Amino acid sequence: MSNPPEGVDLATLRPYFAASVRDATDGALEAELIAGGRSNLTYIVTQAQGGSTRSWVLRRPPLGHVLPTAHDMEREARVLGALAGSRVPVPEVFAVCTDPSVLGAPFYVMEKVEGRVLRTAEEAATLGERDARACSEALVDVLVEIHAVDTTAVGLGDFGHPDGFVARQVRRWSQQWERSKTRELPAIDELARRLAAAVPVSGPPSLVHGDYRLDNTILAADDPGRIAGVLDWEMATLGDPLTDVGLFLLYWDQADATIAGSTEAVGTLPGFLTRDEIVARYARGSGRRVDDLDYYEVLARFKLAIILEGINARFQMGKTLGEGFDHMGEMVAVLSDTALDLANGSSIPALRG
């Protein structure tokens, strides 16, 4: 058996699995870190059982530099459990562990959903035009379903405080910047000032995923036009749903090209919906106004820059696992500069500065 990746101790995990995880036995476990994650750590845990192998997914916080309120495993597992059986496809949660003696941090274990995750524009380009369009439409429609969840009915009525949500987001991420930054970036400070001055009037609140994008979904193995699972709910809350739309458009338009290191943005590939088609489909499906969407796109860049700076700080401390972290610091500057460019061209006077 190969050595387990850092962050999971199979000796202490084995009895926990046997006692707490459905279909697990007291047999030996193996674990593999899933590439692609940049925040919470995700592992595939397997166990040989006779002539077959059982697999589960384990999620735990990163190894160091965990910011206050971030990486809450119980909260993430709660939203997955609440959405079970809803129109939003999510993995089933099998166990939640808050005992630090097992792995040194809280974690949860969930179903391994079979399907395909498209992590880069190169992988997305392998879809034919018809499948690419179907995939695009499904992504927008599932986002509409997330924002249509009756949060009270599924037990998430107290999951957040939607009043004043956007203003609090600006304050919170400005504070996170102060805790995470490894250098001064005047662009971030200017963005914080403008965003605080230009907060729009939000529409009706909803469940917000917080990091909704193509590579946080699993496409059904037999149908790229069906989303089999939505992953990575660590930033979910109740608030303004247009924050999800702004971040989704950021990744769609350019972040796969500038952050994931690929050569093209998904939105430029044959068959995939354009930015304008995504906005129109979302507005039509949700019935929401999208007049001030440029604000939310600037906010998305601001937030993502600060998230990446936190990852950059962990990388500089040697607390990241896997590869692809060495360019994070550079991407923070790229995002803050492009956010300022977008703000300068906004139709919102206060956002223009």
For the segment 193-216, what is each residue's pLDDT rounded down to a tens digit? 999 999 999 999 999 999 999 999
Confidence label for 119 from pLDDT (cuts 50, 70 and 90): confident
Are 167 and 299 in contact by the 8 Å Cβ rule? The answer is: no
Q: Over range 329-333, report the average pLDDT.
A: 86
Between 330 and 198, name the one with better pLDDT.
198
- Alpha carbons within 13 angstroms on the beta-carbon side of residue 149 total 30
Are 208 and 230 in contact by the 8 Å Cβ rule? The answer is: no
Domain of 69 in residue numbering reads as: 10-111
88 & 206 share domain: no
Tell me the Ramachandran region of residue 140: left when phi exceeds 0, alpha when psi lies from -120 to 50, beta otherwise: alpha
Confidence label for 65 from pLDDT (cuts 50, 70 and 90): very low
206 & 344 share domain: yes
CATH of the domain at 51: 3.30.200.20
Query: Does the pLDDT value for residue 180 go beyond 70?
Result: yes
Query: Does the pLDDT value for residue 146 go beyond 90?
Result: yes
Confidence label for 317 from pLDDT (cuts 50, 70 and 90): confident
CATH of the domain at 255: 3.90.1200.10
Q: What is the pLDDT of residue 16?
A: 98
193 & 68 share domain: no
Query: Does the pLDDT value for residue 30 go beyond 70?
Result: yes
Cα-Cα end-to-end distance for the chain: 59
Q: What is the pLDDT of residue 312?
A: 83
131 & 103 share domain: no
Say which range, 71-85, 87-101, 189-203, 245-259, has the weakest mean pLDDT. 245-259
Q: Over range 140-162, report the average pLDDT.
A: 97
- Give the total number of structural domains in the chain: 2
Between 1 and 27, name the one with better pLDDT.
27
Q: What is the pLDDT of residue 314?
A: 79
153 & 96 share domain: no
Nearest to 302 by CA among 170, 211, 186, 198: 170
Are 315 and 328 in contact by the 8 Å Cβ rule? The answer is: yes
Q: Which contacts of 103-107 are long-range, i.e. CB under 8 A and separated by 24 or more positions?
A: 103/7, 103/8, 103/9, 103/12, 103/13, 103/60, 104/9, 105/60, 105/61, 105/73, 106/60, 106/61, 106/73, 106/74, 107/58, 107/59, 107/60, 107/61, 107/73
* Number of helical H runs and strand E runs in the chain: 13, 9
**End-of-domain residue from the set 82, 111, 140:** 111
- 56 forms beta bridges with 45, 111
Q: Over range 91-95, report the average pLDDT.
A: 97
Residue 5 covered by a domain: no
Residue 238 covered by a domain: yes
In degrees, to the nearest 5, what angle opens at C-alpha 136 toward C-alphas 252 and 336?
A: 10
210 & 266 share domain: yes
Residue 177 covered by a domain: yes
Q: What is the pLDDT of residue 107?
A: 95
137 & 257 share domain: yes
Residue 3 covered by a domain: no
Query: Does the pLDDT value for residue 261 go beyond 50?
Result: no
| CA distances (Å), origin 247, targets 31, 89, 204, 243 | 31, 20, 18, 6
Q: Over range 177-204, report the average pLDDT.
A: 94
Residue 116 covered by a domain: no
133 & 250 share domain: yes
Residue 169 covered by a domain: yes
Between 69 and 141, name the one with better pLDDT.
141
Q: Over range 90-102, report the average pLDDT.
A: 96
Confidence label for 108 from pLDDT (cuts 50, 70 and 90): very high
Q: Over range 24-50, report the average pLDDT.
A: 87
25 & 148 share domain: no
Residue 179 covered by a domain: yes
- Per-residue tokens: 42: 């995700």
Q: What is the pLDDT of residue 259?
A: 52
Q: What is the chain's mean pLDDT, rounded?
A: 90
Query: Does the pLDDT value for residue 50 go beyond 90?
Result: no
Report helix, strand or coil for 57: strand
Task: Express as a percent the part of the chain with pLDDT over 90.
Answer: 74
pLDDT digits (tens, 9 = 90+) for 164-176: 999 999 999 999 9
Which one-letter DSSP state was computed for residue 253? I
102 & 129 share domain: no
Q: What is the pLDDT of residue 34?
A: 87
Between 33 and 256, name the one with better pLDDT.
33
Query: Does the pLDDT value for residue 322 go beyond 70?
Result: no
163 & 229 share domain: yes
Query: Does the pLDDT value for residue 68 go beyond 50?
Result: no
Confidence label for 4 from pLDDT (cuts 50, 70 and 90): confident
Residue 2 covered by a domain: no
Q: Over range 37-62, report the average pLDDT.
A: 89
| CA distances (Å), origin 255, targets 173, 223, 316, 332 | 19, 25, 22, 12
| CA distances (Å), origin 274, targets 106, 211, 286 | 40, 20, 18
Are 158 and 180 in contact by the 8 Å Cβ rule? The answer is: no
Give dist(CA 83, CA 79) in Å, integer.
Answer: 6
Give dist(CA 348, CA 217) in Å, integer.
Answer: 33
292 & 320 share domain: yes
Please state the pTM of the whole predicted model.
Answer: 0.90
**End-of-domain residue from the set 65, 89, 111:** 111
**End-of-domain residue from the set 60, 91, 111:** 111
